[in-house]
Structure 1
């Protein structure tokens, strides 16, 4: 018993002694710039131990901050005293060799108080790392930044921090390779990504290598595959740096997996309280979408599921049901995917604050107007997803991330993190053809002027016989609606001396609106004021309708355009359709006595294994409001690319070889069968067989030559997609024509094949 007492006594004594030794107060001395509270937040106000290991740990944690030049320690019975010597204060920052970004811009991106208040090598190195990322996002992958610390002779304990930049040149993409793509050829996949490989003709096309862009390209390719049946697609990439020339080869490795079709599509309401009538209406929504969108082509398409999710969400919101989640569950059955939309109740949540981070250039308003909710609103996961999708669709941010921060009383904060990217591009292009000759195109486009989402588009298009200068500005979200306001000016010169014996100089101003009516359906309406000068080059040959307009003429035009563009590529489409309807109203007060003009254009591409079948057609009509003759240049013409085998302005009514008249109606159709000769080549070659049919007819005053017969032709050609751009050669042979028509059997073109 005595032994037990002694054991407990000594245990308590020594433990109490140990506790007293470990509970010493830490005293800080010598710090001028850094507050005591900041230092105590790192090391605490009292020690946990007085051992040398613990003291060394404290010293190391302070040195690791990078804020201190020297730390001395003294210890007494009750205190540990730290004598600190801080790093020198930064009195001035110099940047040397920075040409791409000016000093003011760089310092706007980085908080000076965080990085440059006093010397801290950890923060300086972090600054260099982040600044290099900024340079690399603009294609400067050779960027090197070093720094020196110089004593400031004019201030005590102060230094001058100098950064030295070796920016190098912008890295370009040499070649892009796809490995494992069995179902789609290289050109189809290239049309889905933003990165471009080097092209010798389009020297100002954006061919810069940007790591983030290649990463985003992976997502674009995955979406493309998932929207074409490949649910299990997996894609990775590798970049190969070529020091000679500062270029990259980019390799996309594709594991396509199996191609699926849709099986059953069902809804489940077990986890949500909605009435039978609402359930029936939601089932009708699903069945209607399946019938109109999916049934024709039953291939698995992830975007269809997202669209159905949006329709169901909209229905629930319209019926006052806010707190829900929709889970999309799928089940594989051999080559079919059964889909179940699981609709569930969710806990009530309300938005307290919306915080936006990372938008150093873009103002908050541009982001907030894309949100589907505001502070104080009820919220669920679908609203967050749709908001992120809207912000992504602006295409002015490198990345977008939305996070929820839980708070009390069912409230959450929404934190939006965006990363800016360059939104401007400057392009130069050159094309050549037997019809239009050499054409030079240059343009400047910027999608986020002044950080408010404003777009500008400046283009110059000039060829042997035509020149056009165009400047457009687009203001988004007019009247706080998803409505774009358009205004711009243009000037053009057109030489029609050879075909019609006159020239025109046209100055045009316009204003109008643009908005999305439905998925892939755009409506644009503009009011234009046009000043047009007609210069007659041959008074004997020119049409009377043009001769009467000789000199200056003023017109007001109301232009309506509906566009539905579902083609998978602009340069080499292989599937999808394009529909455009254009209506122009010229009031009767105009110099030309007024008219109403309609033009319908249709393109359809169908891919069957390697064969690509296309039908392209247009039909147009123009009617005078005063039953007078319509000016030749407002009528329709036929020939050239829209009726191969005939020259531009080569087929249709005319008075003479140099006086083309055209007609008030046009109908033309082109049938093409295209087959690749080398499927996965970097430079594919397609064999093309075609046949064209068309007619242009009807004039108030009968021209000297005015047979309204149908012209037709057949032929073959080769399309070669080279590093300098697409090259086309075709030979067309008229089947039916008139003696006064001007034929052109051979067509050659660089840069424009469609």
Structure 2
């Protein structure tokens, strides 16, 4: 703010000028006729105090010149125009007989603009939002606006208590320095995030939906627990989508209140909601209002069963099926218009899809703005429509969702407006870039391995092309792992995902009695074959070598070592049917997959490796508890030659509770009873995840699990003893383990700690009671 002494002086001068002007007017009124009482004529107008602003500019602002007759209203307007120009600190009108003296005092020129006290935000980030510049005339109103803009920038970073004080420092010759003194204050975090009116879902479940998080013990690492007013809009949309996708069609957010603590060190955020009732789909039908279209053909395209929960996502999917069939038959501007009939008594909604002829509007062009790094084509390929195609509002909405799902932008706004003609429309895409890369460092420690180090770099939008690149290096006590991963999600501008992986690994004998070296090169391409299904085709090349055997090793391991470096090429495919990512924050989902790899190696080795998987996830008890089931099976069939150790399955890889390299089929003829792995496996994993009742800001939840599985069937076992105590370890023996889990949504990512105990195992199997992993989708 400006010094109070200057402001007080300016006000006194203004008051004095007004009094003098009024006295002058009264004096004139005593010597003129009533007809002339409201007009004045000055034969001369003198101007004083202007240095940079010339007289002509002041005459232009006043609006009259010497010898002109002016009214009292014109004089007042002239005074207001000059004062409001922003060029002068003070303005006076002083009548002196037939002369009007206009005395002004110009605002000084700004010499330097400085920011003081800012440690959390650099000058380079503040300067662009400040309009006051060096070399310009000082404007008190603009300085105050700049101070508010700086305070808003700090509020966006979670520092709502920041105070900005402008200071003016005189430097002589009508020049000043301007300093914004910044008192940053502490980060103002959300101490409590609560809901009022929620009955179907607990506050614990709803907090998981929001982008904003409640502050916890690791608040110094978490960014989303700071209060940012702009984030509330996103939270409102996420919460609304959550309820609508679960059939609560009358859901409403009545208000969102944010209360600042008395100490100004925390916010209390409350969502006041009205849930309404949950509705399900009732009768579903299709009618045609377009001549020549048979509704029965389109009704067969529906995948909507009465009794399922009403969901806008499911509705849009069925609309898309109808419109897609019309496009395949060469029909343009055909739209499926859903019409609803609500049955409040039974809480159902009947849906009638009316096939109608839509408005004949074409896409004139797609304008993209705000993408400073991301190339236009990365955004444009999310649209199924191109310039010249019929405008489909549903496709535009779906494209907007796909752009948001990229993760490249913090804000996405897609809208349409009229084009150059009534039948033309322009699609405007406004985006705001966000960070897409990460650099990580890690340190690990194991009693056998010692201290290990790792570094990784990943970029999800490499060079703005939408490509993913990841590089990692890990080393521990002579072992190392180097890899490079590259992915192009839209090869040739189509829905073709190409992936390339190159890497080299070395392992020492921590969990086995041998060392390995392995180099690999993998290529794959994936594409959709149905609505929820994708097919991946891949090619692999592996060079591996086994060494470091000592004592009396198993003959199978010795064969691998004697063979030297093995070169194996493979071709394979994977078919995946996955519904887990359907809708907003889905409450259930399933995955089915089937894969085969056909391998050809040196020494005439040939094999076929087949694997299958079925998994399901669902929420119960209003989604506070999540149940998961996952079943897998695989078989390695050698057409010619013997399998190598790296190609066989290990028990610790398919179930929990068993030690790596120390469980499963063994060769008891070797000195160390070497574990060989198996050519076949199956596993079934069941688990439940639930809240622990701890403060939610800790990000902790618990779980229980039960695993059952087996690995067996080593090929070419002639001359190898795999029996101990009457038990043939090469046959299928079901093992089982139970345990508890601790899930931690940590600042470094979702982590999982498993504490397990085998309840069914063979005598020689070794257990592992603790395991640590990074959580991913099952």
Q: Distance in 1 between matches of 2:388 and 2:120?
A: 43
For 1:455, the equivalent position in structure 2 comes to 468
Secondary structure (helix, strand or coil) at the match of 1:655 reads: coil
Aligned counterpart in structure 2 of residue 731 of structure 1, from 742, 746, 757? 757
1:227 equivalenced with 2:280 (yes/no):
no
Q: Distance in 2 between matches of 1:95 and 1:685?
A: 45
Deviation, 1:304, is 0.4
Mapped contact 1:580–1:601 kept (Cα < 8 A): yes
Describe the superposition over 1:405-453 as per-residue Cα deviations: whole angstroms up to 9, x where unpaired. Answer: 4355314444333333343456678999999999998755443344443
Deviation, 1:568, is 7.7
Q: Distance in 2 between matches of 1:33 and 1:585?
A: 86
Mapped contact 2:227–2:267 kept (Cα < 8 A): no
1:662 equivalenced with 2:677 (yes/no):
yes
For 2:767, the equivalent position in structure 1 comes to 744
Structure 2 counterparts to residues 89-168 of structure 1, below 5 A: 119-123=138-142, 125-126=144-145, 129=148, 133=152, 136-137=155-156, 139=158, 145=164, 147-148=166-167, 163=180
For 2:9, the equivalent position in structure 1 comes to none
Deviation, 1:619, is 0.9
Higher Rg of the two aligned structures: 2
For 2:633, the equivalent position in structure 1 comes to 619
Deviation, 1:90, is 6.2
Q: Cα distance 1:289–1:527, how it changes in 2: closer, same or farther (>3 A)?
A: same
Aligned counterpart in structure 2 of residue 209 of structure 1, from 207, 226, 229? 226
Aligned counterpart in structure 2 of residue 337 of structure 1, from 313, 335, 349? 349
Q: Distance in 1 between matches of 2:569 and 2:641?
A: 18
Q: Distance in 2 between matches of 1:578 and 1:433?
A: 35
Mapped contact 1:652–1:662 kept (Cα < 8 A): yes
Q: Distance in 1 between matches of 2:752 and 2:259?
A: 27
For 1:576, the equivalent position in structure 2 comes to 589
Structure 2 counterparts to residues 457-606 of structure 1, below 5 A: 457-459=470-472, 468-498=481-511, 500-515=512-527, 517-538=529-550, 540-541=552-553, 544-545=556-557, 548-549=560-561, 554-558=567-571, 560-567=573-580, 575-589=588-602, 593=605, 595-606=607-618
TM-score by length of 2: 0.72
Alignment RMSD: 5.4
Structure 2 counterparts to residues 394-433 of structure 1, below 5 A: 394-406=406-418, 409-410=421-422, 411-425=424-438
Q: Distance in 2 between matches of 1:413 and 1:426?
A: 39
Q: Distance in 2 between matches of 1:427 and 1:180?
A: 42
Deviation, 1:200, is 6.0
Q: Distance in 2 between matches of 1:428 and 1:181?
A: 42
Mapped contact 2:63–2:78 kept (Cα < 8 A): no
Q: Cα distance 1:645–1:163, how it changes in 2: closer, same or farther (>3 A)?
A: closer
Q: Cα distance 1:605–1:481, how it changes in 2: closer, same or farther (>3 A)?
A: closer
Describe the superposition over 1:485-540 as per-residue Cα deviations: whole angstroms up to 9, x where unpaired. Answer: 43454444434543x31233444454544555555545555545545453425352
Q: Cα distance 1:563–1:319, how it changes in 2: closer, same or farther (>3 A)?
A: closer
Q: Cα distance 1:121–1:561, how it changes in 2: closer, same or farther (>3 A)?
A: farther
Q: Distance in 2 between matches of 1:671 and 1:465?
A: 37
For 1:26, the equivalent position in structure 2 comes to none
For 1:310, the equivalent position in structure 2 comes to 320
Mapped contact 2:606–2:641 kept (Cα < 8 A): no
Moved more, 594-603 or 193-202: 193-202
The answer for unaligned runs of 5 or more in structure 1 is 1-16, 22-29
Deviation, 1:661, is 0.8
For 1:301, the equivalent position in structure 2 comes to 311
Aligned counterpart in structure 2 of residue 283 of structure 1, from 279, 299, 306? 299
Secondary structure (helix, strand or coil) at the match of 2:246 reads: coil
Q: Distance in 1 between matches of 2:53 and 2:380?
A: 38
Q: Cα distance 1:414–1:160, how it changes in 2: closer, same or farther (>3 A)?
A: farther
Secondary structure (helix, strand or coil) at the match of 2:283 reads: strand
For 1:24, the equivalent position in structure 2 comes to none
Describe the superposition over 1:183-206 as per-residue Cα deviations: whole angstroms up to 9, x where unpaired. Answer: 445665455444455676898665
Q: Cα distance 1:162–1:728, how it changes in 2: closer, same or farther (>3 A)?
A: same
Q: Distance in 1 between matches of 2:759 and 2:331?
A: 65
Secondary structure (helix, strand or coil) at the match of 2:277 reads: coil
1:385 equivalenced with 2:397 (yes/no):
yes
Mapped contact 1:613–1:672 kept (Cα < 8 A): yes
Secondary structure (helix, strand or coil) at the match of 1:300 reads: coil
Q: Distance in 2 between matches of 1:488 and 1:68?
A: 68
For 2:741, the equivalent position in structure 1 comes to 719
Describe the superposition over 1:562-583 as per-residue Cα deviations: whole angstroms up to 9, x where unpaired. Answer: 55554489xx997422334444
Deviation, 1:382, is 3.1
The answer for unaligned runs of 5 or more in structure 2 is 1-35, 41-49, 723-727
Secondary structure (helix, strand or coil) at the match of 2:248 reads: coil
Q: Distance in 1 between matches of 2:311 and 2:179?
A: 55
Structure 2 counterparts to residues 53-68 of structure 1, below 5 A: none
For 1:13, the equivalent position in structure 2 comes to none
